[in-house]
Structure formats: structure tokens, C-alpha cells
Amino acid sequence: MNMSDNVFLVVGLGNPGDEYASTRHNAGFMVIDELARRFGVSISQHKWQAYSAQLILWENKVCFLKPDTYMNLSGKAVARYVDFYKVEPGRIMVVHDDLDMSPGRVKLVAGGGGTGGHNGIRSLVQWLGTNDFIRLKLGIGRPGKVNGHSGMAVDKYVLSPFLSDEKNLLEHGVDRIEQGLEYLVRDGLAKAMNLINTTQS
């Protein structure tokens, strides 16, 4: 791919390092890794403080991206790829954890809106100079509203490993996410939102 390519950028947010690999804050990384596995690519190319993989999907060029920085610096790496590939905000989908949705829920959100207190989203808005990118939110629930986590501080909760049933719920949603990504790339945001955001069991 080169600068003239019209790239669709799919960004997963998380923290690098084995100690964070299975934590709730790394839900974005986990989904990106699973999507890449399903499409037969390895997110192993390292450049501009990020790991990436490029492929052709549904007659479009798609780049999977995982910043190799801590969450609060994610935007710096993403901005380099956006600048190089000249990616419009409407062709950027950021996959990240969300405290205000129950575990296993997924929601595709159009550009705009606030950061929801998410350090990765805040960094992207800062470095990209816009909040018009698409967001795929992955529910992790809040401590005190999720069984077994009452009284746990939020910062400790998001950096703690998923319980097995929570991880299973996340993995169960990847089928819907994969289909939604196809709709997004081929047909646009409205059709993808209709699929992903309909009632989930």
C-alpha cells in the first residue's frame, strides 16, 4: 500500500506487554487480534510505534493497527498512519473497551461525542484533531455493577484480567463484529450500525 491508497483503518486500543494482554482495558487489542486471525494475517509489521497488517477485504484496502504505546499515547501512533495513508475520519474505526456498557455488549457509534473518560480516545482526539472517527465500543461493565467486583477502584478494575465468563461474552460478539465490519466497508455506517446495535442476547 502507498500514500495514494484509499485505506480503511481499524484501530484496536490497549496497553503493550504480556502483563496487560488479557485485561479488560485490552479488549480492543483482543478483538483486532481475533479479526486478523480470521482473515489469515498476523499483526506483526512494526512501524511508527504500532503493529499493523494490511490486506484487501471486500474490494477495499484495510489496515489493522495496534499502537505499541501505552493507552494515553495511542493517538501519536495512529496519527502517523492517518497522515501517511491520508485516511478520512469516516474511514477510521477505533475498537475500545467501555465501562458504561455491560460485559459482552458491542455498540458501533458514529463520529462525534465525548471521550467517556477513556484515555485512548482522549489521545486520539488530541493527535488527530477531530472526534469524527467511528467507534466500536466493547462493554466491560463498571465495578460495583458487575458480580464479584464491588468496591474495586476503576483503574484497578480495567487493568485486571477478564473473568472467563466475561471473556466468553466478548468472544461471542466477534461474529457480529466481523459481519459489521464487512457492512461498514462495503455498504457504509448505517447498515453496519443496524446489524451491530440491534438487540443482543
Active-site amino acid positions? 25
C-alpha cell belonging to residue 11: 484501530
- Write the CA distances from 37 to 28, 53, 64, 140, integer angstroms: 14, 11, 11, 23
Return all residues near 75 (Cβ < 8 A) that are at least 6 apart: 120, 123, 124, 125, 126, 127, 128
CA separation for the pair 190, 167 (Å, rounded): 28
Residue (of 96, 183, 158) closest to 133 by Cα position: 96
Are 136 and 106 in contact by the 8 Å Cβ rule? The answer is yes
Output the furthest CA–CA distance in the chain (Å, rounded): 51
C-alpha cell belonging to residue 100: 458504561
CA separation for the pair 166, 140 (Å, rounded): 8
